[in-house]
Copies of this chain bind each other. A is one copy, B any other.
Amino acid sequence: MDVKKIFLPESELPRQWYNIAADMPTPMEPPLHPGTGQPVGPDDLAPIFPMPLIEQEVSQERWIDIPEEVLEKYLIWRPTPLYRAYQLEKYLETPAKIYFKNEGVSPAGSHKPNTAIAQAYYNKISGTKRITTETGAGQWGSALSMCCAMFGLECNVWMVRISFDHKPYRRIMMETWGASCVASPSTLTKAGQQILDADPDCPGSLGMAISEAVEAAVMDDNAKYSLGSVLNHVMLHQTINGLETQKQMAIAGDYPDVVIGCAGGGSNFAGNCFPFVCDKIHGKDIDIIGVEPASCPTMTRGPFAYDFGDTVQMTPLLPMHTLGHGFVPEPIHAGGLRYHGMAPLISQLIMDNLIRPVAVQQLETFQAGITFARTEGFISAPETDHAIAVVIREALKAKEEGKEKVILFNWSGHGLVDMAAYEAYLTGQLADHELPQEEIDRALKEIEPLPKPQQFKG
């Protein structure tokens, strides 16, 4: 029988993260202070992040050592297996070879603990007693809860009320790991109280939850804030995924022609693809595709501009593809792909033509997820279904062209806590949605596009 899963021995677990900042063909624009408009320095960030993470945020070192304590915890689920999707290939009758990296084997069921465990560790050694964060659908909040438990840290999660009410399982996971989880807006912060005063039935938003979590961290000397995507240090931690994948592809004796991942804030996509982007910068011919929903087309239709990370304009201005900090996407069922912005590193790599963004409609993604579940067994997170939709497109294109392409994608997590989304699809309650141009136009008025940099020439 052909080998289905490529395991990496624990002794081969990467000992360093890969920092793509060292290889960016176009230097990154700095984040700007929301008040002064001047570049943000380490001291500006010190009230909310511990210093080791701030140092990583601005580091230009290509390789950054992973601490022993983090490696030890990584072993709970890492290295994760790389799978060959034989059953899907057979079903599609494609000559393409399809590989996927299974990040769903972590206890939280997704890639999120890759950075959560590192952030918990650096907070622990910096004297933090308590970490605050926000969560939308709950994947990030649950991952951070687990990792805080492992390092004996208190964890307080503000969860967008509408998800809090409709997704109790994620909340209970957080509580099982010992964290507290409250609906946002809450009465625990001034920001939340103000919002509730104005609208007692407010359903909440990620922007509001960020405001609450940041405020709570700033008000308590023992607390820091933690973010699960977008920032450079988050992308950095996630690269352990792609570094493992490169070793596993070598064991399989293949190299990908196409690398695919879904992108909300960008951390799962970056984690798998950045080591391959490095290869591309150094001459490899790879098509690296980030997939987003057509109803929240940050990468494909949002301008590259300085914008706030949150709705209430508390965070630094980041240079990124954005639909505007006031953008409220349609309630599509992939909660992790509803962010208005995109990680600055990914945004810049799109400008440099090293990453190709693609937007897909919701129904195609669920159909892809169903096909995957009935062939390969695994039920994917709705976010992950976006990647699978494009994998199927590429595999069918390879069939048309008669090419034995190697397609790699990041299976970022399972969907077992998101089954309501599948029910909505199976019972015909979902519809496609394309963002109208006037929404983009409105976003453009809020923000100022950056000058388009010189194109990268490969």
Chain A contact residues, CB within 8 Å of chain B: 1, 3-5, 7, 9-10, 68, 71-72, 75-77, 87, 105-109, 113, 146, 149-150, 168-169, 172-173, 175-178, 369-370, 373-379, 414, 416-417, 419-420, 422-423, 426
Contacts and interface: CB of A to CB of B under 8 A. Distances in A.
A375 to B, nearest CB: 8
A172 B420 contact: yes
28 contacts: A1-B72, A3-B10, A5-B10, A5-B75, A7-B7, A7-B9, A76-B376, A107-B373, A107-B377, A107-B378, A108-B377, A113-B377, A149-B373, A150-B374, A150-B375, A150-B377, A169-B169, A169-B416, A169-B419, A172-B420, A172-B422, A173-B416, A173-B419, A175-B422, A175-B423, A176-B369, A178-B374, A416-B417
Q: How many copies altogether? A: 2
A85 to B, nearest CB: 10
Q: Which 7 interchain pairs have the tightest Cβ spacing? A: A107-B377, A4-B75, A172-B419, A169-B419, A149-B374, A107-B378, A172-B423
Among A77, A108, A109, A376, max chain B CB count under 10 A is at A77
Contacts of A379: 107, 173, 176-177
Contacts of A374: 149-150, 177-178
A416 B416 contact: yes
A15 to B, nearest CB: 10
Contacts of A178: 374
Contact of A373 (B1, B176, B376): B176
A420 B379 CA distance: 21
A77 B177 CA distance: 26
Contacts of A176: 369-370, 373, 379, 419, 422, 426
A376 B106 CA distance: 11
